Structure 1
Amino acid sequence: MNKYLQETPMLNYKHFQIQKLIKERGWANVDDFQKIKKIYNFVRDEIAFGYNIDDAISATEVLKDGYGQCNTKGTLFMALLRGVGIPCRMHGFTIDKKLQKGAIPGLIYKLAPQYIIHSWVEVQYKGHWYNIEGFILDRQYLKKLQEKFSECHTSFCGYGVAIDNFQNPPIEWNGNDTYIQKEGIKHDFGLFNSPDEFFEKYQQQLTPIKRWFYRNIIRKLMNRNIEKIRKSM
């Protein structure tokens, strides 16, 4: 079997919840271009930007949460793609924490590690691999940021964004690369067949105490802050 189509514990696309979603949306019944586009739009906009309990959770856990960030939304995206026969892989990086400033409350930001584990998904379509990162922020959240910083038309870094063209970032997929955090990348870890492989080798640099606080307190404050921005007038 193609290694870029294999099911894994994290990419658990044979799970009935994933299969039910694919069937309800009719994703298996359209051409490959529409499969990628429709799944991409679903993950970008119907799975809100937010922070899950851990990076290394399964696609069904992300779906149940209804929110995610670069790594977890990437896992769900990959599972859905493989579930309809689209080959994909993961590209691992670190990003500078400064792109999270604003999304992370002030004191917590100071305590965060300088470099944060990041990834995007690479999708194979018509013999070419496309870098897909633009699904991280849902359009509603991004729109509120663009309104909040309406004077910025060039580079912007913060609130989960690191991009050159802030008011018109390349987040629409029409057979092209998409990005929203690319300019914050610092270290390149290379390609991985699955998120399982990536997170087995690389994890966020947190002590056990910091990890507990992140899971139980910090991420909830971050999610509350993000939701406040999303619902702002």
Structure 2
Amino acid sequence: MSLEVLVRNFKQNSNSETELLVVLHNWVRDHIKFGFTADFETVSPEDTVKNGMGHCNAQADLLCHLLTLAGFESRLAFVYIDKEILRYAIPSLIYYILPHKLFHAVTQVNLGGKWVSIDSYILTKNQFSNQMNKLVQKKTKHGFGLHCNSECVWDGRNDCFSQAQNGDIDQFCQVYDNLAQAIKSRSNTNRVLGVHFNTLLKPIATISRTGGRVFKRYINYYLN
């Protein structure tokens, strides 16, 4: 089923704008597992659906696309979040070479002239529960892909975050129409020694399907 048909069906079966917004949010949350692929940010919304997995920026791009198809004014707002959010969520080797601040996408939708910001769709409900339990047991405020104030249930009206936090949008925010546009930005800090993650991961994605699968299992081991 194409994304256009999917959204059309959701619109036909929703009783209100708010219900439609929540349905779209929940579909991304429940159908796209939080994780990293060798394609990283060189994915289209359709690719992310096909993969059934995507990191924060890929998922944000997908939801933004679905909202646009549904007739909402939507965009991506990028903020910097501390890499501490990924401690214990990815292998230590990968974690330590990451830049201190990550270029993180938040989906925004214009509701009555107000831009509402969300990234509460990133982890599936099961992932969210499992990772939050680990966070609580570890007695730390950040890690496992979450922070202590993370949420995964959106009311369709107010800001809601699982990785960004209240205030992040006010401190720094660059707006783009889509992910393809954003990754070209000089503000994008998702680099190692000046080389963008997309460039580093491209050989893994192109050498063979086996290479991509091995990388996917390795980097997402703590998220499964």
Which category describes the TM-score, using the shorter chain as reference length?
0.7 to 0.9
Distance 1:194 1:134 in 2: 18
1:34 equivalent in alignment to 2:52: no
SS of the residue corresponding to residue 200 of structure 1 reads: coil
Map of 2:97 onto structure 1: 111
What letter matches 2:97 in structure 1? L
Unaligned runs of 5+ in 1: 1-15, 228-233
How far does residue 151 in structure 1 lie from its aligned partner after superposition? 4.8
What letter matches 1:176 in structure 2? N
1:195 equivalent in alignment to 2:192: no
Distance 2:32 2:101 in 1: 25
Distance 2:106 2:219 in 1: 21
Deviates more, 1:175-184 or 1:60-69: 175-184
Q: Tell whether the 8 Å contact from 1:18 to 1:80 is kept in structure 2 after alignment.
A: yes
What letter matches 1:221 in structure 2? Y
How far does residue 124 in structure 1 lie from its aligned partner after superposition? 1.1
**What are the superposed Cα offsets for residues 53-78 of structure 1, whole Å, 9 maximum, x if unpaired?**
22131110011111112111111101
1:224 equivalent in alignment to 2:221: yes
**What are the superposed Cα offsets for residues 167-199 of structure 1, whole Å, 9 maximum, x if unpaired?**
xx3642341111111249697342223323212
Distance 1:152 1:105, change over 3 A: closer
Identity over aligned residues, as a percent? 22
SS of the residue corresponding to residue 104 of structure 2 reads: strand
Q: Which residue of 211, 221, 231 maps to 2:201?
A: 211
SS of the residue corresponding to residue 147 of structure 2 reads: strand
**What are the superposed Cα offsets for residues 62-120 of structure 1, whole Å, 9 maximum, x if unpaired?**
11111112111111101111111011111012222121111111222222222222110
1:149-164 mapped onto 2 (5 Å cutoff): 149-151=135-137, 156-163=141-148
1:60 equivalent in alignment to 2:57: no
Q: Tell whether the 8 Å contact from 1:43 to 1:135 is kept in structure 2 after alignment.
A: yes
Distance 1:189 1:178 in 2: 16
Map of 2:71 onto structure 1: 85
Distance 2:121 2:180 in 1: 20
Q: Tell whether the 8 Å contact from 2:135 to 2:143 is kept in structure 1 after alignment.
A: no
1:139 equivalent in alignment to 2:129: no
Distance 1:226 1:213 in 2: 23
Q: Tell whether the 8 Å contact from 1:32 to 1:125 is kept in structure 2 after alignment.
A: no
SS of the residue corresponding to residue 201 of structure 1 reads: coil
Distance 1:191 1:148 in 2: 33
What letter matches 2:18 in structure 1? F
Map of 1:177 onto structure 2: 159
Distance 1:149 1:190 in 2: 30
SS of the residue corresponding to residue 184 of structure 2 reads: helix
Distance 1:120 1:214 in 2: 27
Q: Tell whether the 8 Å contact from 1:44 to 1:138 is kept in structure 2 after alignment.
A: yes
How far does residue 218 in structure 1 lie from its aligned partner after superposition? 4.7
